[in-house]
């Protein structure tokens, strides 16, 4: 039984405070593992919002799909090989990729945050890919000051060659999106900045849910009219359509959100126009945040629009995969919801609908699930940040819960070295052990600048201001602290004042059930009003409950983005799969998906050239050609070529 929250308009101040906190948490929606902030209680603030990482994924049902690929060493029918490279060695910086007319465009995430000029390396970086074997930097479009770019899309439209990129605040900058004319990519012309607000007037005007972030975009046309569909990080109407027929003056057309699916007694029959704060609050907390599993929001993450511009496929996290009829863009109409909790993620009840792409005829739809909360006990967390704080004066990394347990059991007498990816013990009780680590985000000194730090390694407990250090530290020591009870910046300052030269944050998450990653759901949309789950697909590493073999403990093995292309009588899905690289799957028979190719690299030589472990975020493919574009969060742009069956190893002809 749900308890209804009653607030009169006199209680608007309280409601505004609640919604402000809610909106602040939504600023972390859908961003990937690097976003987490410690809220002072040892909990990432996205735990209360619609953040991508979900919790436990239990054992995947191999029999359902009949296939789990054999990992990076899979025997495949085709090969992928690197033809060209747009190097960008900036850890965690590169986001999505899109290519058109001989140029490729990649976005920039939190670091570096936009400075308004692009001089700091932020913005949309543009590469000339006319010669796929010799990729050349061609310029950039600056990020808006204080904002970051998750998504960039470019298309030949009625009004010209149009580029749009998303804005999300990373240092107090605006949300919304930017519009450019890139008929000449060497001289992009800025056409418009568009502020995106909540679609509900009460949330917008009374509760000031305005200027929200945009995470994903999709350009499409209907006849002579141009449009952009977008994901808005407000409360209601997270799917919005704006008209771009005059790209210098975009206009809002319509909005739709999963609140339209609400069946609770208190939900509105017309949420876009709802004015009752009680009903609004009930919908937000009683419906939009009561999904499945551990990550329960129902906000939109990504979308895809059919080639004729009449159908919208919405990856709506725990609301599932939603199909809308947008033949009339002013009035989106629900067609169906694809949701099979029991079989779509067998055993764990998660949904986490993250990415979507239909086949050309719309009969097959590939949906990506995303989950970063795998291997929680033994994998270093990658979603921590010290934030921006003047007391962040020493470098720091995070290690897993299990690694922290080892140091807590052997608190003193160890010495060794810490760098951006490892804590290596060279002497003492733990001599010879190497613990995977992940460098925290924030404005603290980075190991790339200061180099590895060596010294005595001392366990000091939680290291909050109210705590005494469990063991004393001396100048130059490396302090190992346990996560929880206060912010990471407070812990850093505490040990820095005591003389530490580096800090190691050990996670405190204990998950009793083994936690694998997440893969794909492949749907049969032969009847779009009644989609049927045909199969699921995982790689060996995404289905694994622990690292080992080809599954690097530092790796991220959730699927991320997907595109689908029809090639003759074949339907193929191309997936960016983080540390599994790029995976190609034949889904012609959606009930029997088969991996046909993969690009995966590992090892010290590759990591040195890539600026870190393989971490493929974005994927794009030129239609009816062998060229594939992949964006690596650490290494920038990769241009891959798909070779036919029978070609030599590594894709060499």
Indicate if the pLDDT at residue 65 is higher than 50: no
**Mean pLDDT over all residues of the chain?**
86
Question: b/e for 138-174, b at 16 or more Cβ within 10 A?
Answer: bbbbbbbebbbbbbbbbbebebebbbbbbbbbbeebb
pLDDT at 644: 65
CA distance 615 to 139: 24
CA distance 305 to 309: 6
Give me the domains of the chain, ranges plus CATH numbers: 62-375+513-651 (2.130.10.10), 396-506 (no CATH)
Q: What mean pLDDT comes out for the span 533-557?
A: 88
pLDDT at 516: 79
pLDDT at 8: 30
pTM tops 0.75? yes
Percent of the chain with pLDDT over 70: 86
Q: What is the pLDDT of residues 424-444, one digit of tens each?
A: 999 999 999 999 999 998 999
Q: What mean pLDDT comes out for the span 172-193?
A: 97
Do 149 and 166 form a contact (C-beta atoms < 8 A)? yes
CA distance 332 to 598: 38
Reduced to 3 states (helix: H, G, I; strand: E, B; else coil), residue 20 is helix
Indicate if the pLDDT at residue 290 is higher than 60: yes
Q: What mean pLDDT comes out for the span 280-291?
A: 90
Q: Which neighbouring-strand residues pair with 321? A: 315, 338
CA distance 60 to 389: 42
| The two structure tokens encoding residue 405 | 């347990």
Indicate if the pLDDT at residue 64 is higher than 50: no
3 state SS for 121-163: CCCEEEEECCCCCCCEEEEEECCCCCEECCCEEEEEECCEEEE
How many C-beta neighbours within 10 Å does residue 634 have? 20
pLDDT category, 29, cuts 50, 70, 90? very low
pLDDT at 462: 94
pLDDT category, 408, cuts 50, 70, 90? very high
Half-sphere exposure (Cβ direction) of 8: Cα atoms closer than 13 Å: 1
pLDDT at 15: 47
pLDDT at 227: 98
Do 559 and 370 form a contact (C-beta atoms < 8 A)? yes
Indicate if the pLDDT at residue 244 is higher than 60: yes
Please measure the distance between the N-terminal and C-terminal CA atoms of the chain and give it in whole angstroms.
Answer: 64
Q: Which whole-number Å values give the CA distances from 122 to 381, 444, 445, 487, 593, in the listed order? A: 25, 19, 19, 27, 38
Q: What is the pLDDT of residues 106-124, one digit of tens each?
A: 999 988 999 999 999 999 9
CA distance 234 to 198: 5
CA distance 270 to 280: 11
Q: What mean pLDDT comes out for the span 247-262?
A: 97
pLDDT at 371: 82
pLDDT at 14: 37
pLDDT at 71: 43
| The two structure tokens encoding residue 611 | 């600026």
Do 161 and 182 form a contact (C-beta atoms < 8 A)? yes
pLDDT at 501: 97
Of 18 and 425, more confident: 425
pLDDT category, 452, cuts 50, 70, 90? very high
């Amino acid at each position: 039984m749900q308890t209804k929250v009653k607030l009169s308009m006199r209680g608007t101040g309280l409601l505004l405070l609640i919604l402000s906190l809610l909106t602040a948490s939504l600023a972390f929606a859908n961003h990937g593992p690097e976003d987490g902030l410690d809220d002072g209680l040892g909990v990432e603030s996205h735990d209360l919002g619609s953040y991508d990482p979900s919790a436990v994924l239990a054992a995947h049902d191999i029999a359902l799909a009949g296939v789990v690929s054999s990992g990076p060493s899979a025997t495949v029918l085709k090969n992928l090989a690197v033809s060209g490279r747009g190097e960008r060695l900036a850890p965690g910086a590169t986001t999505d990729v899109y290519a058109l007319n001989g140029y490729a465009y990649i976005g920039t995430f939190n670091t570096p945050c936009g400075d308004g000029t692009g001089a700091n390396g932020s913005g949309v970086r543009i590469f000339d890919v006319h010669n796929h074997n010799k990729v050349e930097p061609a310029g950039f479009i600056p990020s808006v000051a204080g904002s970051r770019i998750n998504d960039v899309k470019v298309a030949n439209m009625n009004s010209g060659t149009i580029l749009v990129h998303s804005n999300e605040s990373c240092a107090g900058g605006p949300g919304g999106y930017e519009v450019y004319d890139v008929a000449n990519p060497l001289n992009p012309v800025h056409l418009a900045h568009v502020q995106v607000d909540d679609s509900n007037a009460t949330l917008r005007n009374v509760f000031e849910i305005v200027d929200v972030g945009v995470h994903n975009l999709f350009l499409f046309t209907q006849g002579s009219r141009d449009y952009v569909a977008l994901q808005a990080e407000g409360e209601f109407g997270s799917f919005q359509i704006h008209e771009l027929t005059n790209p210098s003056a975009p206009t809002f057309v319509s909005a739709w959100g999963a609140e339209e699916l609400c069946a609770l007694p208190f939900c509105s029959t017309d949420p876009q126009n709802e004015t009752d704060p009680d009903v609004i609050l009930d919908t937000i907390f009683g419906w939009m945040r009561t999904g499945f599993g551990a990550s329960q929001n129902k906000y939109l993450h990504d979308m895809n629009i059919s080639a004729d511009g009449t159908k919208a496929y919405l990856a709506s996290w725990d609301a599932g995969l939603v199909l809308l009829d947008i033949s009339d863009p002013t009035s989106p109409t629900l067609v169906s919801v694809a949701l099979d909790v029991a079989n779509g993620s067998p055993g764990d009840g998660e949904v986490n609908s993250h990415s979507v792409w239909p086949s050309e005829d719309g009969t097959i739809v590939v949906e990506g699930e995303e989950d970063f909360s795998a291997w929680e006990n033994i994998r270093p967390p990658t979603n921590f940040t010290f934030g921006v704080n003047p007391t962040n004066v020493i470098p720091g990394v995070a290690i897993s819960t299990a690694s922290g347990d080892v140091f807590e059991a052997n608190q003193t007498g160890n010495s060794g070295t810490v760098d951006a990816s490892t804590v290596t013990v060279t002497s003492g009780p733990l001599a010879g052990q190497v613990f995977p680590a992940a460098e925290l985000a924030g404005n603290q000194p980075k190991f790339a600048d200061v180099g590895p730090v060596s010294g005595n390694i001392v366990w000091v407990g939680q290291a909050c201001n109210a705590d005494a250090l469990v063991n004393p530290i001396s100048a130059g020591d490396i302090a190992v602290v346990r996560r929880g009870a206060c912010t990471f910046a407070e812990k850093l300052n505490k040990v820095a004042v005591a003389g530490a030269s580096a800090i190691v944050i050990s996670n405190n998450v204990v998950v009793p059930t083994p936690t694998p990653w997440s893969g794909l759901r492949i749907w049969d949309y032969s009847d779009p009003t009644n989609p049927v789950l045909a199969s699921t697909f995982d790689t060996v590493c995404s289905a694994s409950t622990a690292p080992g073999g080809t599954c690097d403990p530092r790796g991220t093995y959730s699927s991320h983005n997907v595109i689908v292309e029809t090639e003759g009588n074949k339907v193929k899905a191309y997936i960016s799969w983080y540390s599994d690289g790029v995976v190609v799957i034949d889904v012609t028979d959606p009930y029997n998906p088969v991996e046909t190719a993969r690009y995966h690299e590992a090892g010290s030589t590759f990591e040195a050239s890539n600026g870190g472990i393989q971490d493929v975020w974005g994927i794009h493919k030129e239609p009816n050609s062998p060229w594939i574009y992949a964006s690596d969060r650490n290494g920038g742009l990769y241009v891959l070529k798909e070779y036919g069956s029978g070609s030599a190893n590594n894709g060499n002809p």
